[in-house]
Structure formats: C-alpha cells, structure tokens
Structure 1
Amino acid sequence: MIVSIINNNKKDEIATNESYSSRANVLMESFTSELDWANELSYNDRLTQISKKDIVDFANKYLNNDNYVAVYKRKGEDKDVVKVEKPPITAVSVNREDQSDFLKKVNEMPENEIKPVWVDYSKDLQKTVSNDTEILAVKNKENELFSMYYQYNTGKWNNKLLPLAVDYLEYIGTKQKSSEDFSKEFYKLASSFNVSSSNEETYISISGLNENFAATVSLIQDLLKNAVADEEALASYKEGIKQSRANAKENKNVIMSGLRAYAKYGAKNPFNDVLTDAELDAVKASDLVKIIHDLTLTKHRVLYYGPKSVDQLAKELTPLKAKNAKYVAIPKAKVFKEEPTVKNKVLFADFDMKQAEVFWFRNSDKYNVKNAPVASLFNSYFGGGMGSIVFQTIRESKALAYSTYAYFGQASKKEDLNSVGAYVGTQADKFNDAVEGMNELLNDLPESNKALQTAKESLLKSLASERITNASILMSYLSAEKLGNKTDIRKEVYDKVPTLNYPDLKVFHDKEMKNKPYVYCVLAKTDAIKPEDLKKIGEVKTLTLKEIFGY
C-alpha cells in the first residue's frame, strides 16, 4: 500500500500542477511560508524511504487512546442571546464616477497586455470512429495523466432509475471482486472512477496515470459488465438516499432551487420528478444492475484527454460492446416544457429563519448567438459582481441585502429558453424595501460611464486571461455543440464588446427586463412576511415541501 500511496500522491501532484492557478498557489504558499523549494520538490522521493514500521511506530506514538480532544455539537435555543436594537440606516449616495487616490495609483501601474487564446475545435480536438463508437480526443502534451469518459445521451428524463443505478455502482462488485476489492484495485493503480447522471446525460469516467491506462479500462469494464446485485448494499444505499432527502428539506438553498424549478416549468418539473418513498422502497437490486449492464450495450461516445493520439487510442481501446452485440433502445425521454411567464406570481415556502430570500424569475426567448456579446457585457455592468449596479445600489447604498445579484441567463441548449434572474437575501423586516429596490432597477437601468468602462475592461481582461485547456476543451466543445455553435463564442464576445455602449445595454434591458412579469420565489418564516405584502406583488401560491420535492 505504501507504493500505492506514493503513486497516488504523484498523480495528485501532477494534477495540481496542470492548473496555472494551483501551480501559482503552491509557489506562493511555499514562498510566504519560507519553505525550501528543493525540499518541496523532493517530497515524493522522501516518501519512498518510509517503511511500514515507521508508520506503525508513528501511529503508536501520536495516535494513542488519550491523545485527542472530542468536540460535541448540540442543537438548541440560546436563552442568553442579547437583542440589539436595530439602528436607522440612511442610504449612501453612490458616486460611481469618483476614484480614490489609491485606485488612481493602481491604474497607473504598468501592465503587460494579455493576448486572448481561443479554442479551435478543428485543430485542438481530434475525432475518429472505432467499433461504431465516436471518439473525441485532446492530446496531453504536458504529463502522463489521462481522463476518459463514456458519455451517454440518456438520463433521468429517460429513466428515473438511471441516476440511482450509476450511483449504486460504487456500492457493488462482481462475483470475483467485492466493492472493497475494486476500491483497492483502483487505488493501487493510482486511478479512480466517477459516475454521474443528470436529466439528459450520463457520464462514467476514469482517470489516472497513463502507464496504468489499460488496467484501469479493464477494471471499469469488468465492473460494468459483471456487476452483481447486492441487496444488503442496496439497503444501505437506500438509507443514505433517504437521509439525503430528509437533509434537503432542511436546506434553504435546496428549497429555493425547487421553487425556481417550479417557476421555470410549473407544478410538474424536473426537480420534483423523483421516486416517491414507496417507489424507492420497491426498487430491487436486480433492476439497478440490469440498467448498469445495459449501459455497456447503449450507444455512447468516448471523450479522452491523455498522452495517446486519437489513432493510438482507437487501436488500443477495448470497446464496451461486443462487435456482434445489438444496442439496447434508449427509453423515450419525458418532456418538460418551460412555461411562458405571462403575469406576476408569488411562490412562497415557509422556512424557519430570521431572513427572507427572494428570487425573481422569468422565461425569455430561445437562444440567439447574436445576443452573446451584449448579454455578457450587460451581466458584467448590471448585476455580475461587487462593482455592478445591482450590488452597489441594493447592498452598498441602501443596505437592503446580505447578498444580491441579477443576470440574463443564456440557455445551455438551442431548443431551450433564455431566462432572467435576480436575487436578494435580506432581513424579513426589509422585505418590502428590498423588493421595491430591485424592481426599480429591473424597470430602470441607471447610466454610469465609469461603471460601464469598468465592466468592459473587466470582461475583456477576463476573456483575454482565460485559458480553456486539457479536458476542458472537450467540455467546451460539447457545450458549443448543444447551442449549435461551430466556433469558440468567446471570440465574438471579445471582438464585439468594445463597440457596445450604454444605449445598447438600455435597449437590451428594456427588451428583457423592463415592465416584464416575474415569478417571485419567496422563502421566509410564514409570520415574518405579511400576506398583504405578498399579494400586492402578484398572485400568491404557498407550496408545501411535498409539492416542492415530490416526496
């Protein structure tokens, strides 16, 4: 196991250094902590000198029975809380055109211009077909790490059991190897596997050292093809799911996600389209294992990032499906249509807290690539950060929110609708003022030449310094493919933004936000918000947790 630990540490170190920001962070921490850099580089070499006896001696010396502190956390109400009377708050005038001497000094510092680098999908990505399977590959020219994904165009909307099945994969083994045996085998290879299933896609991925690529592929395929049902493991897995579902109902962020899904799709939506408790109890291990086995016979793509060329990969990669085997049919997907936002509504959910959270939502039009530049600049100017109009007005000037933002959300698929969103997290007694303050901004876009210039510079520098590299090229390609884009859309944004000015943003704001109906998703304690305050916003519907979550 010591050899395995060293190999895994080696892999983690290489993976860390793949990221420019992580690499810089390691250098910075070593410098500020005054560590010897040569000593840091030789860490893995020093690990090879440690024996099993050294580890046992260390554990006996430092991890003995009386050398620890136990910390207990108890729930309850603190009876000794001292109430502080809330002072009156006077709105601060926000002069966006002024600059401090410090800011001027910073702006005067010389800087080297950063040239943007765009992804060229025709050059940075290789394609081929092997054994009736499309392969998309990006060559790793920096190190010996690989990542490989089996990508399926099927998910929860096709089969509600699919997400359960792929997660269950981590709990089971085969007739020859237990789940623990597989974990140990992957660890010994300094490899890992991960599974995920969303509404419309499923991924099974492996990663590790290139020298162990063939062994890692063999291991994951063995598990997929030969997994056996384990009712005991399923019982444990179900208990975990039930606990997770119970925890979700106590998490305000998850509840708000449910409200937003209700606003987007209506009462029947992807968020609450889940198994009931009775349906979950009725799930059999054999049902989930069959789904796992069927994945080896389901049409898929292979996405690869690693040292091998696409031709070499196609030649060496063992296909999941036997040559003469037939593909299984993918179940027809359930369709969830985004509801047009035609009038003001309020979706209210009770949550025991002192605060109130409000999320404005509306569905807009379908994706249009021509809107990408103005939408990107608008988000940067209007509600995308601490220097934005929304943040400075709602939080900094009027002190009406702990957190606030607003945005125009571009769809992730060309068939889907864009959306408008805005958020305020405030004190319950500031609810009316916070809603009024956000509505003022949604209906009237303030003009600030300085803020606009800052938003432009920020967006352009962000695009120029951003680098899509390694496996991210594959994901960027898939995102572009879903939108029908053939090129890296960031280039069009970068080229167009300098020509945009306030009138362009005003036209966009008027079209997408001004005097538009919204669904107000409100999360607060029932008696903290007056019913008449909700009614004056729009038609009110109070939702139970059962209606939000579906269980």
Structure 2
Amino acid sequence: MKHIKTFFVICMLVTFNFACKQNTEPNTADLAVKTEVKTDPNGFSYEVINNDPTGLRLYTLENGLQVYLSKNTDEPKIQTYIAVRAGSNYDPSNSTGLAHYLEHMLFKGTDKIGSIDWEKEQAYIQEISDLYEAHRAETDEVKKLEIYKKIDEVSLEASNYAVANEYDKMVSGMGATGTNAHTWFEETVYKNKIPANELNKWLSLESERFSKLVLRLFHTELEAVFEEFNRSQDNDGRKVYTAMLDALFPNHPYGQQQTIGTAAHLKNPSLVDINNYFNKYYVPNNMAMVLVGDLNFDKTIASVNQTFGKLKYKEVSHPTLAEEAPITAPISKEVFGPTSEGVTLAFRSNGVNSEDEKFVTLADMILTNGEAGLIDLNLNQKQLVQRAGCYTMFLNDYGLHQFYGDPQEGQTLDEVKDLILSQIDKLKKGEFDDWLIEAVVNDLKLSQTREYENSTALASAYYNAFIHHQKWEDQVKFLDELKAITKEDLVAFANRFYKDNYVVVYKRKGEDSSIVKVENPGITPVNLNRDKSSQYLTDFQAIKPDELEPKFVDYKSAIKEKTLENGINVSYIENETNDLFNLDIIFDMGTDNDKKLSLAVGFLEYLGTETMSAETIKKEFYKLGVNYYVFSRNDVSYIGLSGLKENLPKGLALLEDLITNAKSDPEAYANYVDKILKERQDGKTQKSNILWNGLVNYGKYGENSRLRNIMKASELKAQDPQELVDIVKGLKDYKQRIFYYGKDVDQAVAALNKEHKLNMPLKDYPEATTYVEKETGGHVYFANYDMVQSEMVFLAKGQTFDAEKMAAASLFNAYFGSGLSSIVFQEIRESKSLAYSAFSSYNTAGKLDDSNYVLAYIGTQANKMDQAVEAMMSLMSDMPEAEKQFQAAKDAALKKIAAERITKANIFWEYEGLKKLGIEKDNREAMYNTIKNMEISDLRDFFNDNIKGENYNVMVVGNKKDIDFNALKKLGEVEEMDVDYLFNYETTDKVKL
C-alpha cells in the first residue's frame, strides 16, 4: 500500500542516495541549490545542479531538443525516453483520441522503415486518406459503409508493399526491453530500455522514426484502438476517474477530452488531422530525450547531436486552454457498473510549480502515508471503513487531491464520505502530532531512495520535469521546502483549501446505460510480409556494435554467510548504494502447511501489546523510518523489516516485542472477519479476479485447489482470536533462516543476537497439503459478467519441469507469443484486427515436480470471438515459420541475456527461485549457450513436442447475452460456473450450457 501511495508523489521528486535521519534540522548547505553551466571537451554546454545526488547533465541542442543524461552503472543498459509535449489536451475538438492514435502510428515506420516499395505504397496511403475524409463527411450510413468497404479493399492492396512491425524487429533485435509508449493530457512518451552498446544504433533508428510520419496499416490499427476503447468501457475505475475529471473541469480538456477519445471520433478519423498534429508538435524544440544508465556523457551527447540534431527547429505554440471558475458547493456524480461500490472525492488545486503543490503534497502525506497518517490510523487501522486513502496529481494548469473509500458491509457511501471528511477536519484543526511533518518529509526521502535506485524511475522523474516545464533545481529543493512549512502554515492552508469545494463520485453497482455497443466491421486480413524487409532494415541489421559479454552470477560466492549465537544462518549481501536495509526471517512453510497462518499474520496488523496500542506501534515505526511486515504465501512465510540502517536495532526490538507480546483483541478480530468477508464479496465483482484466479485455478486443479481450500464464513466467525495470536507467536519456534541486505552486517547480527530470542531446538514444519494438477482438455468454463469485451484463456497441462527446455521455451515465447513482432500479435491484431490484446506462452513451472503449461489469451469483442478463437487455434496447431523473424528473436534473446545483470538483493531472491527448481547455478549461462546454437528447426521440434496437439481447458468471462455458445461448444463441453462455487464461498451447482 505504501509504495502505491507514494508513487503519485515521488514521480515529481528527486532521489537522495543517503540515509534520512529523523529529528535533525535541515542542512543550510542543502538549501543552497544552484544551477551552473559547464562545457564538455567537445564544446557542448550543459546545466548541472550542485547538491543534486542524481548527477544530471541537462543539454539543449541548437534545434531546441533538451537532453537529460545521468549515469548508472548497475547494469550495461540505458533507460531511454523520448518525451513530446503533445497530449490529448491538444486534440482538435472534433478529433478526440488523435494524440493517442498518433502514438500507435509511430510504431508503423516511415517511408524507409516498413516499406518494400514506397513509391507504390504512398499512392495507396494517399487514396486511403482521401477515402477517410469522404467517410468522415458522409452522413448517409449506407454510403459510409460503402466507403469503408472501399477503404478495406485499398488497405489490402497497400499492405502488399508494407512490412508489419519492422520497428519492433529492430529494437527487439538490439535486445531492448519495455518497448512501449503512453499518451496523457500533456504528453506522449516513447520508451525503450536498451543494452548500452546499442546506443548509437538506437539513436539512428529513433531519429529516422521521428523524422517522418507514415500512416501505414491504418484501419487495422484503428480497430485495435477501438478494442482498447472497449476495454476502457469495462473498467469501472476508469469511468469513475472520467466522471471526476468531468465535474472538476467542466470547461478544460482535462475533463472534456478523454485521452482514448469518443466512439464517434474513433470511427470517423482524419488522416489529415493526424498528419497536421504530428507536423505541429513533433518538433525537436517541443521534445526531450532522457537517457539514464551506463553511458559516457561526452560521447553520448555527441551521438545525440549527430542524429537528433539534424531534426529541424520549428516554432510551436500550444493552445490557450479554458480556465475554470471556483467550485463553491459540492458537485455530485454517479457511475454504474458491475464492480463493488465506492466513493471518490476530489479537490481541485493549482498545478505544477505552484504553492498549492507543496502544501497539498504535505497535507496528502499527513492524511495517509501507509503507516501513521490520519486516515491510516483513524479509519483503516480502526477498521471503520473497508479501505480509504488519498493521493495527489499535478498537471500544468491544475492539480487535484483525490480521496477514495470503500464501504464495509451495510455501510453507506455517504457514511464513508463523511468519515473521510472528518479526517480532513482534523487536519484543519491541527489534530495531528507535531513530529509528523518532519517524519513525512523524511519518509518521502526514504521512498525516493528506494524508488530511484534504478534508472527507469529516475528517467521517469526527468521526463516528468520536462513535460511540466519544471527546473530540475526546483526539484532538488522541493523536499527541503516542504520541511520549511510549519504546522501553523499547513493548518492555515488546509482551512483555506478544503471547504465545500469538492467533487464526489459515487460508484454504484448497476447497469451502465452509457455503454457503446460496436459492430464487427469485418476487416479483410492484411498481408504481413514476414519474410520481406525494407532496405533500411537490411542495412540496419548489418551494423555490428561491439559485443556485450554476458556476466553470470556465482551465487555461492556472491551470497555470504554468518551465524548467530543460536546457530541460525544469516545470508547477506552488502548494500553498496545507500544506507537502507532489508532483513527477512524466512520460514519454509506457508498456508499449504497451515491455512490459518495467513489469517493469523493478517490479524497482527490490528494488534497492540500490554504497553502499546496498535496505533502507537505504527507511529513508533514511522518515527524510526522503518517498516515491518509479516506475511505468508503458499510455501513460505516472512517476518521482515526495511528502512534506515541506523534504526535497525530499534526497529527489530519493536517488532520482536510486538510478536512476543501481541495481545488478542476480540473486537478487532470481529471487524477483521467482516473485512475479509467484504473483500470476498468485492473480489467476486472483479472480472480479472474471476478469470485469472477463479476460472484459471479451476481449469488447472478442479475442485481441489488452494483457492477453494478456505475457511468458510462460519469458520472464521467461530475462530478463537487467541489461537491466531498464538500461531503468530509460535511462528518463531519453527526452523528458519535469515537474509540481510544492507551495510554493516555486524550491526545486524548483533541486533539479532540481542533481540531475536528463540526456544531451541526449533520445530519441523507441519506436513503440507498437496494439490494435484488435473489433465486438461475438452472443457470450457464460462462465467457471466456484464462487460463489452469477452476474455478467454486457453490452458494446457504439459510435461513436468525440465531445465533443458528453458532455453527453447524462452526463444519460442519471444518468436511466437509475446511482443509486438511476435507471430500471435501480428496475426490476431496486426493482420486481422481481432483483439487489442492477444498472446501465448510456454510457462515453465516454479517448482521441480510441477508441470509446465501452455497458455494463450485473447481479449476481444464478443462478436469477434468465433474468428479470434479460430485464428488462435490455427496458430497453436501449426506454427508459421519465418526465418528472418526467427533470427531476430534469437538475436534479441541473446542480447537480453548479455545485458542482464542480477545485482543487489536480487541475487539472493533469484537463487531462492532457482533452488526450488533444483538448480544450483546461474542457469542463464546454459540458456545462452543453447540459444546461440539453435536453428528454426529446433524451434519447430519444440513446438511439435510441446505445443501442437495439446488439449486445452478454455476459461471465458463475458456477457452471457452476447456470447456465441455454439462457437464455444466447438472447444469442449461448456459449463457456466457460479462465482461463489469457483471461490468456494457457497455450494452452488455448475450449469451445463
């Protein structure tokens, strides 16, 4: 919860790679943050900020492109972002969704990338553009349909000269990961994480990509975007968000132009508008490049200038957007849908770089920080609501402070709203501890350190600064400026800011009458030309950068050992980055050994001791900058601490006292049970939970599954809470081992010797329950859900785990089932437009004696299901072979392994996973050597032995009124599954359809 909460705040903040000490005054030197301009040996000038722990160099090229560079040598990779100040705010009012759709089209190539014969192709693309203009202008529906059929015909002809996904083939062939993009109100951001030795190739490719827009394979991608629109209609959380923004911003595009666009605009696009938008905003002086990783500053900026420096400067202006009048009374909205009920409140603020940003950020953390905020302690800890919290969002023109709450059983949404408002009133009255402001600022620093140890998070902070016109100097000073705010200042602000000036959105269960039903347009599949290449691709692949040699881990030497006085083993790895630590006491038993264990450790959250209440314990941990956790999984349980190294001894003493002296609380337990039962009811309303937990578990195990082996409501209510407390206290009596990641292991060992007292000898673990994987095939399990799309999972049980198959499985997944240039994605989305999301994978087991599984997924309109199933089953029966695509997948797999580094605490946790598979060495070395020698015939053999002819159980969630059950019956006997039966909440018969 805490990391989710702080994400919204720290995305605008800078990491501090040092320990944040409590109860210390700000260092005046830290406040003297200034920007200096320096010049590198090649004559490029750049800005640096003193006291900036991120080491940013900010360059501005002559054409206006801003370049953010920072060095991180944890791995030989570079996180790249190309950010454009162009988002849905700037969509023409009659072409909403344009910026987002343009984002999709930037993956389709240029006149050089993705074209076999540009001279011929461009004539068809122009014809398609003209037809879309005619289609848009036509008001007669019959004539519009005729024009669309013509678009479909010409698009098929145009596809003869196009190669799908050449861009992805090139970036994946470099070993890139995380290839993606996103569009939001004020931004479109393009993402890749690349091996460091591929930087110059990547720069060459990206400079070509952004030099020219070609709207290739337009109508098939448009249908994919409409599938994305359908997914948004099935997302109640997104609908609440949209309603909230509509009420907060009745005039501004924040509330009036959704990024995804309207159905009418998506079905009537203008290629002319899209080209105009690209030409206006996709210019270097409206863009930034962010590179964080293993780079050489001087060489990198020279290479950036050599490529992106050639893009031409062009004056750009963003439209002046509407201003909003003050909100003078609460505004109420309702949203309906199948998911559980909840209430959302939001207060509108000024935007980025305003004083509001500082005060609202601080107020937000006082109210909820995951540990000791007013909402945390007074509502969540006391279990007065199912859950509640808040977060902030700051954009260029405005910001908002959003609160959310879910009701307990029998509680009204207005009661939840009033409880949230009561905590805001406490803030306004100053009813919070005097130490809390300093503690939350230090907590933000702590969170920054955790989040920004990796290059991706830091690079995200940089591009956010660019999009929001923020000086990095101001970012570096931000937290010290927060610390300078007094309690009196904050209370005064709260009384000015939090009045009856909010929006409230009630999410209620019920049918949504605003849903747009979409017809299947019947698109003719376009040609993919898998084994053809543009000249650009051929030349690109001929460029050979310096080889990057893989590095493998010797786990036994990397993980060092010490022994406590009581003989318990402590594995440890030193943290060489900062002064944070993680300490885990590990028990190799879990809920399989005792299904009450998870219930017991969850109860601990609400318990105190004879000398301290649960609320006091939370506050004491928060003061120390230390978090504790106790949780249990299927086969393992943990007691753990993390936070500031200097406070490990005090934190451990506090945790040991809690576990040893926890005091049962029957009232808290009764509330805890009510909370669990409400969570179960809420979970039944989530389609992803129904599909991936309920149906998939049933398809895999049948009635005898972990998911169904639960304590019934009557059992929970009859449970003696003291027994659960005793289970927690008794956990330490079992065999255990310890892992420590941090500095000064001797301090940690000394603290453990002092505080972690055990009753020796330790007990063996109880026998674990076993769950037998059933054979798959011939069954279709369906669950009814009110939704626009339908979602399907195909599951086939394979052979038991075999380490020899891991290399082939990895290469098969890259070639066949995942990624933008995979066979499945190309056939089902790119060629046939049958789904927004479709993938397939061969999943290796997580334990030595478990089975591997073949899995496939389709999310599509119900009226496309029959075609989508046929397409997927055809692929799973006969693997298309494309030599060039295979070689690209092979190169990508090898380069990803070569660039991968297992470091820090991950060394220990990766080794933990390997040992469960009976592997004692870094298996990536064997995989690398195997893949290096594989041919496409080896992949064919793997497919024929492990994929072809498999028998599938099919799990389907969708609207019963729209599903074609005759199509499903082709796959096996169809059974409609009651959700209570799936999760074993009640005994309900299955229904055959």
Cα deviation 1:14-36 (Å, max 9, x = unaligned): 21231222122223333554533
Match for residue 294 of structure 1? 730
- Partner Cα distance (1:112, 1:62) in 2: 58
Match for residue 871 of structure 2? 437
Matched, 1:189 2:624: yes
The count of aligned residue pairs is 548
Match for residue 214 of structure 2? none
- Partner Cα distance (1:408, 1:526) in 2: 30
Matched, 1:123 2:557: yes
Task: Give runs of aligned pairs for residues 493-512 of structure 1, distance below 5 A.
Answer: 493-512=927-946
- Partner Cα distance (1:305, 1:155) in 2: 23
Q: Could you tell me which of 822, 825, 828 is aligned with 1:388?
A: 822
Task: Give runs of aligned pairs for residues 96-495 of structure 1, distance below 5 A.
Answer: 96-99=530-533, 113-130=547-564, 131-256=566-691, 257-309=693-745, 313-318=748-753, 322=757, 324-341=759-776, 343-495=777-929
CA shift for structure 1 position 160:
1.3
- Partner Cα distance (2:513, 2:953) in 1: 39
- Partner Cα distance (1:30, 1:420) in 2: 43
Cα deviation 1:480-530 (Å, max 9, x = unaligned): 111111222222222322221210110000001111211112223334334
CA shift for structure 1 position 102:
7.1
User: Structure 1 residues 364, 84: closer, same or farther in 2, change over 3 A?
Assistant: closer
User: Structure 1 residues 270, 72: closer, same or farther in 2, change over 3 A?
Assistant: closer
- Report the AA paired with residue 381 of structure 1: Y
User: Structure 1 residues 107, 290: closer, same or farther in 2, change over 3 A?
Assistant: same
- Report the AA paired with residue 173 of structure 1: G
Whether the 8 Å contact between 1:148 and 1:302 is mirrored in structure 2 is yes
CA shift for structure 1 position 3:
2.9
Cα deviation 1:56-99 (Å, max 9, x = unaligned): 23223323x23433344455445566655442211112112344
CA shift for structure 1 position 199:
1.3
Return the TM-score normalized by structure 1: 0.93
Match for residue 476 of structure 2? 41
User: Structure 1 residues 114, 173: closer, same or farther in 2, change over 3 A?
Assistant: farther
Question: Does the residue aligned with 1:53 lie in a helix, a strand or coil?
Answer: helix
Whether the 8 Å contact between 1:357 and 1:426 is mirrored in structure 2 is yes
The 10-residue stretch of structure 1 (172-181 or 9-18) with the greater mean CA deviation from structure 2? 9-18
User: Structure 1 residues 232, 492: closer, same or farther in 2, change over 3 A?
Assistant: same
- Partner Cα distance (1:416, 1:80) in 2: 46
Task: Give runs of aligned pairs for residues 512-531 of structure 1, distance below 5 A.
Answer: 512-531=946-965
User: Structure 1 residues 87, 75: closer, same or farther in 2, change over 3 A?
Assistant: same
Q: Could you tell me which of 442, 445, 452 is aligned with 1:17?
A: 452
- Report the AA paired with residue 732 of structure 2: T
CA shift for structure 1 position 54:
2.4
User: Structure 1 residues 319, 490: closer, same or farther in 2, change over 3 A?
Assistant: farther
- Partner Cα distance (2:664, 2:901) in 1: 44
Whether the 8 Å contact between 1:444 and 1:514 is mirrored in structure 2 is yes
Question: Does the residue aligned with 2:810 lie in a helix, a strand or coil?
Answer: helix
CA shift for structure 1 position 43:
3.5
- Report the AA paired with residue 40 of structure 1: Q
Whether the 8 Å contact between 1:296 and 1:320 is mirrored in structure 2 is no
Whether the 8 Å contact between 1:408 and 1:418 is mirrored in structure 2 is yes
- Partner Cα distance (2:789, 2:961) in 1: 12
Whether the 8 Å contact between 1:297 and 1:321 is mirrored in structure 2 is no
- Structure of greater relative contact order (alpha carbons < 8 Å, 6+ residues apart): 1
- Report the AA paired with residue 741 of structure 2: Y
The 10-residue stretch of structure 1 (312-321 or 4-13) with the greater mean CA deviation from structure 2? 312-321
Whether the 8 Å contact between 2:781 and 2:956 is mirrored in structure 1 is yes
- Partner Cα distance (1:261, 1:523) in 2: 14
Cα deviation 1:195-227 (Å, max 9, x = unaligned): 321111112221000110101111111111111
Whether the 8 Å contact between 2:866 and 2:964 is mirrored in structure 1 is no
- Report the AA paired with residue 633 of structure 2: S
CA shift for structure 1 position 252:
1.4
CA shift for structure 1 position 153:
1.2
User: Structure 1 residues 429, 45: closer, same or farther in 2, change over 3 A?
Assistant: closer
- Partner Cα distance (2:737, 2:683) in 1: 33
CA shift for structure 1 position 149:
1.1
**Please, which runs of 5 or more residues in structure 1 have no aligned partner?**
none
User: Structure 1 residues 319, 483: closer, same or farther in 2, change over 3 A?
Assistant: farther
- Report the AA paired with residue 194 of structure 1: Y
CA shift for structure 1 position 38:
3.8
CA shift for structure 1 position 151:
1.3
Match for residue 27 of structure 1? 462
- Partner Cα distance (1:447, 1:308) in 2: 55
Question: Does the residue aligned with 1:154 lie in a helix, a strand or coil?
Answer: coil
- Report the AA paired with residue 432 of structure 1: D
- Partner Cα distance (1:92, 1:247) in 2: 43
Question: Does the residue aligned with 1:318 lie in a helix, a strand or coil?
Answer: helix
- Partner Cα distance (1:212, 1:42) in 2: 26
CA shift for structure 1 position 107:
6.1
Match for residue 57 of structure 1? 492
Whether the 8 Å contact between 1:137 and 1:304 is mirrored in structure 2 is yes
Question: Does the residue aligned with 2:557 lie in a helix, a strand or coil?
Answer: coil
CA shift for structure 1 position 544:
1.9
Match for residue 441 of structure 2? 6
Question: Does the residue aligned with 1:541 lie in a helix, a strand or coil?
Answer: strand
- Partner Cα distance (2:929, 2:616) in 1: 54
Question: Does the residue aligned with 1:303 lie in a helix, a strand or coil?
Answer: strand
- Partner Cα distance (2:706, 2:758) in 1: 36
The 10-residue stretch of structure 1 (124-133 or 524-533) with the greater mean CA deviation from structure 2? 524-533
CA shift for structure 1 position 446:
0.3
CA shift for structure 1 position 193:
1.5
Whether the 8 Å contact between 1:225 and 1:296 is mirrored in structure 2 is no
Whether the 8 Å contact between 1:344 and 1:537 is mirrored in structure 2 is yes
- Partner Cα distance (2:524, 2:637) in 1: 52
- Report the AA paired with residue 287 of structure 1: E
User: Structure 1 residues 108, 8: closer, same or farther in 2, change over 3 A?
Assistant: farther
- Report the AA paired with residue 749 of structure 2: A
Match for residue 542 of structure 1? 976
Question: Does the residue aligned with 1:336 lie in a helix, a strand or coil?
Answer: coil
- Partner Cα distance (1:524, 1:444) in 2: 28
User: Structure 1 residues 111, 351: closer, same or farther in 2, change over 3 A?
Assistant: same
- Report the AA paired with residue 449 of structure 1: E
Larger-gyration structure (1/2): 2
- Report the AA paired with residue 386 of structure 1: L
Question: Does the residue aligned with 2:562 lie in a helix, a strand or coil?
Answer: strand
User: Structure 1 residues 86, 537: closer, same or farther in 2, change over 3 A?
Assistant: closer
